[in-house]
Structures are given as C-alpha cells and as structure tokens.
Amino acid sequence: MTTAPTEPRNYPPIPPGLKGVQVADTTIGSVRGGEGYFHYREFNATSIAREHSLEEAWFLLLDGHLPSEAELATFRAEIAGQLDADAGLIDMVRIVAGTEAAPHAALTSLLPLVGGFRPTVDIDAAQRRSDAVRAAAAVPGLLAAVHRCRQGLEPVASDPTLGYAANWLYRLTGARPSATAVRAIERYLIATIDHGFNNSTFATRVITSSGADVAAALVGGVGALSGPLHGGAPSRAIEMIDDIGDPANTEQWVTGRLQAGQKIMGFGHAVYRADDPRSLLMRESAESFGGDIVDRAIEIEGRILTVLRAHKPEATIVTNVEYYAGLVMLLAGLSPELFTPTFTVSRVMGWTAHILEQAANNKIIRPSANYTGPKPSA
C-alpha cells in the first residue's frame, strides 16, 4: 500500500480576495487611496475628466500620451467607423432582446460576433490595438440597440457629428442630448475608465494571459460587472435617496439598516481612506443640473456620513463614486437599468488598455491554491 504524497506548503499567507497583493506591473494608472487620488499614466485622472474629452482619455490609456490634434482626429475617425457594428447583427440583437438577460449581459452573446477577432498571441501589436478599438467602440451601439428593441423601438444609428459620449445618449433616446447632459456623462465615463486592478480588470487580464482574443477578454470583464458588488451600486444609491425622501428621515433610516446588518450603498470604499475624487467630481456634475433632488442628495449625504462615523468611529468612511454617479445618470436622462451598462461603456475602454499591456509582455496567469480538504488516500 502506497502513501499519497503530501504537497508541502511553501506559499506565503495570502489575504482573502488577494486584497493588497501586487500581481503585476502596469504603466496604465494607479490608485492612491490614502491620498484620495488616482491617475491615468502620469496625469491626475479627475483633471483629465475636467479638461479633456473622452476620446483623448481613451487614447492616453491606449498609447501612453495625450494625442496631438492630428492623432485625435485620426482616432475619432477610427472609433466612428466601428460605432454601428450592431447594424450587421440586428437579427441577433432582436433575439437577445427577447430574452430576460440584462442589457449589459447581452454583450456576452453579441460581442464575440462583431467579427475579425483572433488569438492575441497570433497577431502583432498594431492588429491587437485595432481589434481592441473595434470591440470597445461597438459596445455602446450593441447595448443601445438591445435596450431600444426591448422598448419596442427601432435601433438608432450613430450621428457622425456627435462624440462617443453624446452618441451613447443619442442612441438610447433618439433625441440629441443637452450640452449639460453630455458633459456630465462624459466626465462620468472618463472618471470610471480605469481604477487599478479591480475585479473586472483583473478578469480581463487573466483571460488575455491565455492568449484568448480581445472579445473573449472583454466578455469576461462584462461577466464580472454582473455582480452587484462591482458596478451595480449606483441604482441602489438612488433607491436609498428615494426611500429616505425627506432628509430629516435620514438618521432613522440609516440606523435601522445598520441594526439589521445591512450595507449603506454609496458609502465606504475598499481602497480610499480620504475623499473619493470621483465622488467629488460627480457631485460637481450633479450640481450643474441643480434642482430639489440634488439639494436633497447633498443634505442626505452629510447626514449619512455623520451617522456612519458615529457608528464606526475607528473607521474611515467616505462617500464613494456610486452615490452621485446614479444621480448624474438619472439627471442626464438614463433610467436605473442603464446605470450598469453605462459603467460598462466606460470600463470597456480601460479594459482594452489592460488587454494590450498584458498581451505585449505576456505570461499566463496561473496561481496556486492551498489545499485544505480531507487528507488524500493512497
């Protein structure tokens, strides 16, 4: 009778969820949670959102520098040529729209059909970049087409006179959006393009490391966003503001939730120990719309923070991006079921940068696990 070999454990202790573990090098950006700061390349990310267009921000992540006027014009033309990929898939769009899948989940069926994708290990850097731009640029049109078909409406083609953010709003509603709405949504999209090695970004890099094509990696990122712990909070924050109603009800409402062991959506962050700069940016955008709901949200925010800090005085609790992001999207004319798809429209651009970086110097990501089950038999 032989004895089953025992594999020695030679691994350092790893925190649950790999929290804080550095698993790769990146030049795309980073989050400095203790400082309340994050950056794209060498630029303050919120400054990019305030001072530049979405196309400039995407180019920066892909190519490592802000574009010249000529480079920007070429890049915008490249994007525009891919915005209407849904037109060639209209039959599939209608089939998917007839299912119960959430709009962003429909991408898992449609995105691989955009066409022309090939394993990243079989193509050069220029072709990978072309595939990445084509796939990401197709996403808003696919999502908008599914959404409109579900409303019994015909899909709307892109408008070549509008930018990426404006076309997203236009293709959802069929109406040209206001300048205030466009700029608010553009700032949101820029501010959420990338945010360190978050759950979905890591998923896209793991899939890319196998040599899979761009679409497969993006589908993995979309799957990660389907969970409410990563991307689904903005609608819940709006529901909370509606439930509270009068700001005077805040303390009682929050205390009741805390006593029931429930989370207060839109507050607290895994990384930030100072103000979330994205939340401050979204508050500015909300204030650009004005109105009673904005005034109530600001007062409710202050009251919630007071209760939470009294509840956990040892913790650093800040308002995160989801609290005002939902309000901004609502004021820009988006219904709550479109909040996560809008996040997808943004994050897909960041994923493309990580896909290209991973593929350029690739080694398959294949960690080990520590077996803790019953002792194996001979």
The pLDDT of residue 17 is 75
Residue type, 103: P
pLDDT tens-digit profile of 4-31?
Answer: 555 555 666 777 777 777 788 999 999 9
State the CATH number of the domain containing residue 64: 1.10.580.10
Distance CA 46, CA 73 (A): 23
CA distance 329 to 188: 9
The Cα–Cα gap between 167 and 335 comes to 17
Residue with the bigger pLDDT between 185 and 322: it is: 185
Quick check: is 134 in a domain?
yes
Residue 1 clears pLDDT 50, i.e. is over it: no
pLDDT at 183: 97
pLDDT of 234 reads 74
Average pLDDT (54-82) is 97
The number of folded domains in the chain is: 2
pLDDT confidence band for 233 (50 / 70 / 90) = low
Q: Does one domain contain both 220 and 254?
A: no
Is 13 domain-assigned?
A: no
Say whether pLDDT at 2 is over 60.
no
Catalytically annotated residues = 269, 322
What is the mean pLDDT of the segment spanning 58-83?
97
Residue 352 · residue 132 · CB < 8 Å: yes
- In a domain? residue 373: no
Does residue 170 have a pLDDT over 80? yes
Instruction: Please report, rounded to a whole number, the percentage of residues in the chain having pLDDT higher than 90.
Output: 74
Say whether both 161 and 55 belong to one domain. yes
Per-residue pLDDT averaged across 228-257, rounded?
Answer: 88
Residue 342 located in a structural domain: yes
Range of the domain at 250: 233-330
Task: Tell me, yes or no, whether 368 lies in a domain.
Answer: no
Question: Per-residue pLDDT for 346 more than 90?
Answer: yes
- State the average pLDDT over residues 61-87: 96
Distances (CA, A) of 318 to 264, 272, 306: 11, 8, 11
Q: Mind listing the pLDDT tens digit for each residue in 28-62?
A: 999 988 888 899 999 999 999 999 999 999 999 99
Instruction: Give the pLDDT score at 9.
Output: 55
Residue 53: inside a domain, yes or no? Answer: yes
Q: What percent of the chain has pLDDT over 70?
A: 96
Residue 5 has a pLDDT of 52
The answer for residues whose C-beta is within 8 angstroms of residue 304's C-beta and 6 or more apart is 250, 254, 264, 267
Which pLDDT score is estimated for 236?
Answer: 83
pLDDT at residue 275, as a whole number: 84
Residues 240 and 220 in one domain: no
3-state secondary structure of 43: strand
Average pLDDT taken over every residue of the chain: 91
SS3 271: coil
Please name every residue paired with 267 in a beta bridge, in sequence order, or none if there are none: 319
Region 187-191 average pLDDT: 97
Residues 132 and 203 in one domain: yes
146 neighbors 154 (Cβ within 8 angstroms)? no
Q: Tell me the mean pLDDT in the region 315-331.
A: 91
Q: Kindly indicate the confidence band of residue 237, based on its pLDDT and cuts at 50, 70 and 90.
A: confident
- Contact (Cβ atoms closer than 8 angstroms) between residue 76 and residue 58: no
Determine how many CB atoms are found less than 10 A away from the CB of residue 290. 11
Domain identity same for 56 and 91: yes
Residues 165 and 53 grouped into a single domain = yes
